[in-house]
Structures are given as structure tokens and as C-alpha cells.
Structure 1
Amino acid sequence: MAQGGDKEWIESCEIMVAIEELSLLKNGVEKKLSTMAFLHLSNLLLRVLDKIGPTMSVLSLDIRRNIERLEEMYLLDPSSNSSLMEIVEKEVKEGTVRKADSCSRAILWLSRSLDFTVALLDGLEKDSEQSLNQIIEEAYKTTLGLWHGWIASAAYKIALQLTPDREVFVGLLMGKDKDIAKFEGEIYKLVTLIQPFLHEIHELMKKYRLERLKST
């Protein structure tokens, strides 16, 4: 908002918001990724994913459900559920870690959705010639597609037909900042910030042999 009573809406770039907030998270994370930090990261990336529109509605709904499940667990006892490791270890001891409604599965699928989003953003930054449809398809094949069964894969193929033009998507992410070189640099920085978080989660999943669980 401008000084002197004149209101001026400044459209914040989603990428810049994510970078700023992830930088703060990075400075606060020690050896274990906190549950709140992971939930925060998931919500940040969901905002970026939502810019694609109806194409990602099924995936976005799945992400929201997993976020809600993890939030509910955290709020039951914030002190004992403060880190992802604590939540997974608790479910391992209870024998519920592989159940369909476990928080461990929610963590696994959220991390895979984040992998997909990172691959999508990475594709945007590295190849200016590819259409958004091509970038999404490649990102899906190398991330979520590895773990989806035929039902989920079929739903994805139908949704892919609704992908907007690359220019429209990039424009929505950039907001009023039309400097494409700066935008691509911001994507690179965002991906670089996210990767350490995802690496930690993947290592946690491997430790308890959850990394190869698939959907139907």
C-alpha cells in the first residue's frame, strides 16, 4: 500500500514468497525437519501448483487431504509430534505405519508431490522451448508416475488435456514482474532450497522401508 492514503496493490510473485519463507525455515532447521516446517513447505508448493488450474485439481485435493491428516496428528500433541521422525517412529512402534490412513503415508505422498512440483519448476527454468504440457508430463513420469497405479495414472492423463499455455502459467507465477531472466533465477534458487528438505524426508522413508509404497 502506498503512502499518503493512495492504495496500490502490489502482486507478490509466488516464487519470491516461497524463497523468502523457505530461507527462514532453512535457518531454523537443525538435524531433524520439523513437522510444522514440512507442513509449511507443502502449503507453499501447493500455492504454486494451484496456478496451473483445473489440471492439477485431483493432485491438489490429495495434497490437501494429506496436509490435513498430518496437521491433525500434530495438533493432538505438538510436543511429541514436533518432527517427522517422531511421527513415523511412533507409527512404526504401533504397527500402523503402512496403513492407508497413516501419517507416514501422508508424509510419503506429500514428499512425492513436492518432488513433482520441483521437477516441474526445474523444467521451466532449464528448457524455454518446451510447452507446459511437455514439462508436466516429463515431471510426472520421473516422480509421481513411478508410484501411481493404473487408476491414478488414467486420471492424470485425462487432466493433462486441460493444461494452460506455458506463457499463461509463467505469467501467473511472475505476477507484475516481467523480467524472465530474473524469474528463471528465482526458480533455480527455490529448487535449490527445497532439495535438502526432500532429501531428508526420502532418507527417513528409506530407513523404515516405506519409499517403495504405491497407490492403486
Structure 2
Amino acid sequence: MTDSQTFFEKMKRSFTDVPIAGDEQISTEEFLEASESLVKLFDLLGSSAFQVVEADMNGNITKLRKRLVQDGEHSKTLQGMILEEVKEGKKKTGTQALLWLSRGLQFTEAAMRETLDHPDKEMTITFTDAYKKTLIKYHSMFVRPIFKLAMKACPYRKDFFAKLGNDQKKVLEQLKEWLDALIKIVDIIFGFYLSGNYGKGF
């Protein structure tokens, strides 16, 4: 990253560049590239405690990529992939992976949104608040302490934002655009799951 580049400018793919068709069909390949770029955000948090978050998200991305390779014809869009798995009636690996990845994306969006909206709060607070609003309800009593430990390991706000780029005005503008695009996609995915009860049991 050059001095003039921000974290968002060096991404392979931003959520602002993920194609969404008129009927809200989300392109799978670009979505996965944007998700892979998002996971790199956790590297900037600089703590081994976040490895569990990264590993979980990367594991789900890998499962979705495998499905895309196996059935590229029906998996061009996320919705097409899920509908094909429903039709097959077998083990719904892609359906489960996308749901859990989307939950992780929702948490990331909420954590960064809290951080953006509350410049007076340190990230240990904003990330913990976001975790309580999103992921905690899906986690068992054994998993929760691991994630809570990660939230407590967040760096100081000023140190983290410095890693996002030198031009803080540009960083904040790009962060907001990225978050707006991310939550739009997450909302479409969750709406789709709800419409057909595709997340049942997951």
C-alpha cells in the first residue's frame, strides 16, 4: 500500500463493486472476492484473538467457492446456488456456509458502523456492542467467551484508523460507502433466506 492508498483502494474487490441485478440477484464470484477482501480487515486489528473470526469466515468462503466450481451453471448468483441445493435435497453445504458468512459480514458491518458513528468510543466497546446485537444469539456458551475475548483485544481506535490510510477524510468517506454497500447485500441475502425459510436448522 503506497502512502496515498487506503485499505479500501487496495482491496481486490469492494462491496461497492459487487453486481446486483434488477431482481436483486447477487453475483457469486464478485461477492466472494469482496468477502475475501473484508476478512483482511481483521489482520489490521493486530491480535491473534481474531484468528477464530477469520478462520470461520474463510472456511465458509472456501465452501462457497467449492460449490461454485462444482456447479458453475447454477451458482452464478448466490440465490441460484441456494435454490439448486434446495432442488437437490442433499446436504446443503453452500446454503449453510452462505448463511454463516452473512452473519459474520453483518457483525463486521455493525462493528465498523458503531465505530464510525461513535468516534468517542474505543473499539473494544463498539465491537462488543456489535457482537451483542448480531452474532451472540447464534453462538453456544462455549463459543461466546472466545469471541468476547477477541472483542477485548481490539486496538486503540486511532491506531486502527491510521492503518486504514493516511488521508483520514478519504478513509471515512470510503468506509461509509463500503458499509452502505455491504449492509445492502447482507439485507438482500437475509431477506432471501427468510422468503423461503432456507436457513431452517442452521
Taking structure 2 as the reference length, the TM-score comes to 0.87
Separation (CA, whole Å) in 1 of partners of 2:201 and 2:5: 38
Instruction: Find the counterpart in structure 1 of residue 177 from structure 2.
Output: 189
RMSD, aligned CA: 2.4
Q: Does 1:49 align with 2:42?
A: yes
How far residue 213 of structure 1 moved from its aligned partner, in angstroms, is 4.9
Say which SS state the counterpart of residue 56 (structure 2) adopts. Answer: helix
Deviates more, 1:54-63 or 1:14-23: 14-23
Instruction: Find the counterpart in structure 1 of residue 196 from structure 2.
Output: 208
Instruction: Find the counterpart in structure 2 of residue 3 from structure 1.
Output: none
Instruction: Find the counterpart in structure 2 of residue 80 from structure 1.
Output: 74
Question: How many residues were matched structurally?
Answer: 200
Separation (CA, whole Å) in 2 of partners of 1:123 and 1:173: 16
Alpha-carbon spacing, 1:15–1:120, altered in 2? closer, same or farther (3 Å): farther
Say which SS state the counterpart of residue 55 (structure 2) adopts. Answer: helix
Instruction: Find the counterpart in structure 1 of residue 64 from structure 2.
Output: 70
- Structure 1 stretches lacking a partner, 5+ long: 1-7
Q: Are the counterparts in 1 of residues 75 and 81 from structure 2 also a CA contact under 8 Å?
A: yes
Matches within 5 A, 1:1-216: 9-10=2-3, 12-17=5-10, 21-26=14-19, 29-31=21-23, 32-53=25-46, 54-96=48-90, 102-174=93-165, 176-177=166-167, 179=168, 181-211=169-199, 213=201
Separation (CA, whole Å) in 1 of partners of 2:39 and 2:6: 14
Q: Are the counterparts in 1 of residues 16 and 177 from structure 2 also a CA contact under 8 Å?
A: no
Alpha-carbon spacing, 1:159–1:20, altered in 2? closer, same or farther (3 Å): closer
Identity %, equivalent residues: 23
Q: Are the counterparts in 2 of residues 19 and 189 from structure 1 also a CA contact under 8 Å?
A: no
Letter in 1 for 2:64: L
Q: Are the counterparts in 1 of residues 104 and 135 from structure 2 also a CA contact under 8 Å?
A: yes
Q: Are the counterparts in 2 of residues 63 and 110 from structure 1 also a CA contact under 8 Å?
A: yes
Say which SS state the counterpart of residue 90 (structure 1) adopts. Answer: helix
Q: Are the counterparts in 1 of residues 107 and 130 from structure 2 also a CA contact under 8 Å?
A: yes
Alpha-carbon spacing, 1:212–1:167, altered in 2? closer, same or farther (3 Å): farther
Structure possessing the higher radius of gyration over alpha carbons: 1
Alpha-carbon spacing, 1:194–1:158, altered in 2? closer, same or farther (3 Å): closer
CA-to-aligned-CA distance 1:31-88 (integer Å, 9 cap, x gap): 2102112212211211223211323210100111100110011011312211111221
Q: Are the counterparts in 2 of residues 14 and 47 from structure 1 also a CA contact under 8 Å?
A: no
Separation (CA, whole Å) in 2 of partners of 1:141 and 1:42: 22
Say which SS state the counterpart of residue 108 (structure 1) adopts. Answer: helix
Say which SS state the counterpart of residue 15 (structure 1) adopts. Answer: coil
- Structure 2 stretches lacking a partner, 5+ long: none
Separation (CA, whole Å) in 1 of partners of 2:56 and 2:162: 26
Instruction: Find the counterpart in structure 2 of residue 4 from structure 1.
Output: none
